[in-house]
A and B are shown apart, each in its own frame.
Chain A
């Protein structure tokens, strides 16, 4: 049997060009399939990492998923703001342990700016309930004197090369070339350690700062003829009237649904409260169809690759009739002939799948930075998950099953041809 496999190997090597092309097709197909699975799993993992520790996200009445995406991932937009008074009232609710207001809408060179309080750095949790850590500096002061202070995420710092003490200006809206709040620069006072969450891509300032830079603005543009210099904003009342959303942590988990209902029935204004983890699951339920479609497409690509393998092997059989007859004459049984063909198919599939893994690794290394900055999906290289190993094995098993057909034909042919093929 070892001798037969060695001969099969040498025979395959002789046809390395055709088999190589088939192998490349299988490699690309399995890399695609793995990539789809990997991005799916890592996106879920990454998103789930971003919402730990927050019991409720509160915003103006609207869709829960939309609210969660905007408040946690700074994606999309909020339809309305909620009142600052509602935040104060909820923060004082006996079931609430902490409440952190969020104010979104501005940006700095494409990175979202988040107006919040210093409590954010204390209560925000990611991953397995991990707290934020300062790689350098400190939280913004949140006082009248320290109103123009900013804390940046690790990716903001890395991408723009910022250090403590650098001064930056914010833009109105999310467009990189939006109107600038150029007259009111911020000093970077803190840089956060990497978290693998949207925090890394965020510029954090105080709620008061958001009010301050919009003092002389109306309707998304500076008010003509009215410019309030940075040093004078301190004279104004900087407490905001509105915030975008509110993160709430509870004293006891048991209260979560009671408080959710309480907020959903809020009398002063229409509010929505969602459990971020629930909203995330609902999001996944909604994208499941897209995911399944993508998965089905890439599985079909794998099937096409394997069909190509079968076609190559079958087409090669006619040219190899004499070769197989010679092996018969030398004592190879039909079983050995079958084994040769099946082994060839298995070899090509296995090598193709392994090459696919290598392609995936290379692709991840090349695309990980983009996936992180553009899509917020952490795609670091990691060992294969049980799911992925099952996928790999099923590709190989399918390849083996597919090469049984050429093997069977070779077996039939070698029986019918005998020692001298009639051709």
Chain B
């Protein structure tokens, strides 16, 4: 009898399905966080549906406005992600790509075996912290802005090691 083998058989199989990379689940986003010395790097992936409720080119002005508003929200990094205040972190750079806005529409759009179309928002943020030792966590306002988003699967690599955490509207703080 080997406990590890049991664990592997009993648990890893369903997990292997659930955690397969590049999965697109409506309402579920992904957030990768690296904390390296004084720098925080965040990479965000959201299904477009979670932000605006559709995943295709906009059909009217209202939908266009929704995409533009999402783009604007995602670029306000300081309001979207709040690291521990005592660490005194400031935004260094913001990149956000919302499908169907601007010229480069192909990015973030991909098909699944040609059946249905999905579109993902991709954004990345870099913060620099004056007091990295005080850094204990990052609170996100994503759930407040995007009501259709109910879950954010996070991966983290930092001074205290690596970890995974599931953020939800009730638990919107990434901690380590």
Direct A–B touching, Cβ under 8 Å: yes
Q: Which positions in A face B, CB cutoff 8 Å?
A: 48, 51-52, 55, 62-66, 69-70, 73-77, 252-254, 256-257, 264, 272, 275-283, 285-287, 374-377
Taking the nearest CB of chain A, how far is it from the CB of B36, in angstroms?
Answer: 4
A253-B21 contact given A63-B15, A75-B2, CB 8 Å threshold: no
The answer to whether A256 and B34 have CB atoms under 8 Å apart is yes
B166: nearest residue on chain A (CB-CB)?
A285
26 interchain pairs, CB-CB under 8 A: A51-B161, A55-B162, A63-B20, A64-B21, A65-B12, A69-B7, A69-B8, A74-B4, A75-B7, A76-B5, A76-B9, A253-B34, A253-B35, A254-B39, A257-B34, A257-B157, A264-B21, A275-B155, A276-B162, A279-B19, A280-B162, A281-B163, A282-B15, A283-B15, A285-B164, A375-B2
Q: Which residues of A contact B20 (CB under 8 A)?
A: 63
Tell me, yes or no, whether B41 is within 8 Å of chain A by CB. yes
Mark out the residues of chain B between 12 and 32 whose CB falls within 8 Å of any chain A CB in the assembled complex. 12-17, 19-22, 32
Q: Does B156 make an interface contact (CB < 8 A)?
A: yes
Q: Name the interface size band of chain B.
A: 35 or more
* Residue B165 is within 8 A (CB to CB) of chain A in the complex: yes
Q: Specify which chain B residues have a CB less than 8 angstroms from the CB of A48 in the assembled complex.
A: 161
| B8 interface neighbour in A55, A75, A377, Cβ under 8 Å | A75
A69 to B3, CA, bound (A): 11
Known: A77-B8, A375-B4. A277 touches B13 (CB 8 A): no
- Give the shortest distance, in Å, between A286 (CB) and chain B (any CB): 5
Residues of chain A contacted by B7 (CB below 8 angstroms): 69, 75-76, 283, 287
Number of A-B contacts (CB under 8 A): 114
Contact check, A75 vs B5: say whether CB atoms are below 8 A apart.
yes
Chain A residues with Cβ under 8 A from B2's Cβ? 75, 374-375
Nearest B residue to A253 via CB reads B36
Tell me whether B157 and A55 are in contact (CB under 8 A): yes
A31–B8 Cα gap in the complex (Å)? 28
Query: Is B19 touching A282 in the complex (CB atoms < 8 A)?
Result: yes
- For residue B90, CB closer than 8 A to chain A, the reply is no
* CB of B43 closer than 8 Å to a CB of A: yes
The contact string, 1 if C-beta is below 8 Å from chain A, for chain B 163-176, is: 11110000000000
Closest to B15 in A: A65
CA distance A253 to B43 in the complex (A): 14
**Closest CB in chain B relative to A18 CB, distance in Å:** 40
Q: Are A252 and B157 neighbours in the complex by a CB distance under 8 Å?
A: no
For A55, what are the chain B residues with a Cβ–Cβ distance below 8 Å?
157, 162
Q: How far is the CA of A48 from the CA of B161 in the complex (A)?
A: 9
Shortest Cβ distance from A66 into B: residue:
B12
**B19: A residues at CB distance < 8 A:** 63-65, 279, 282
Contacts of B156 in A (CB 8 A): 278
What 1/0 flags go to B45-77 for Cβ under 8 Å of A?
Answer: 000000000000000000000000000000000
Q: Give CA–CA (A277, B14) in the complex, Å.
A: 19
- On whether the beta carbons of A64 and B11 are closer than 8 Å, the reply is no
Write the nearest CB–CB distance from A59 to chain B, whole angstroms.
Answer: 11
Q: Considering the chains assembled together, what is the distance between the CA atoms of A280 and B161 in angstroms?
A: 11
A221 and B89 CA atoms in complex are apart in Å by 61
| Contact call B16/A278, Cβ cutoff below 8 A | no
Q: Which residue of B lies closest to A283 (CB)?
A: B11
Q: Please, how many angstroms separate the alpha-carbon atoms of A51 and B163 in the complex?
A: 11
B21:A272 contact, CB within 8 angstroms: yes
Q: Quick one: CB contact mask for B100-114 with A, threshold 8 Å, 1 for yes?
A: 000000000000000
- Note all chain B residues with C-beta closer than 8 A to A77: 8
**Structural contact, B36 and A254, CB atoms closer than 8 A:** yes
Q: Which of A256, A279, A286 contacts B157 (CB 8 A)?
A: A256
Nearest residue (CB) in A for B163 is: A281
Q: A65-B19, A275-B157 given. 19 additional CB < 8 A pairs?
A: A55-B157, A63-B12, A63-B17, A64-B21, A66-B12, A73-B4, A75-B8, A76-B5, A76-B12, A253-B34, A254-B36, A277-B161, A278-B155, A281-B165, A282-B15, A282-B164, A283-B12, A375-B2, A375-B3
Contacts of A264 in B (CB 8 A): 21-22
For the complex formed, measure the closest distance between the CB of B175 and the CB atoms of chain A, giving whole angstroms. 12
Q: Is the CB of A376 within 8 A of B3?
A: yes
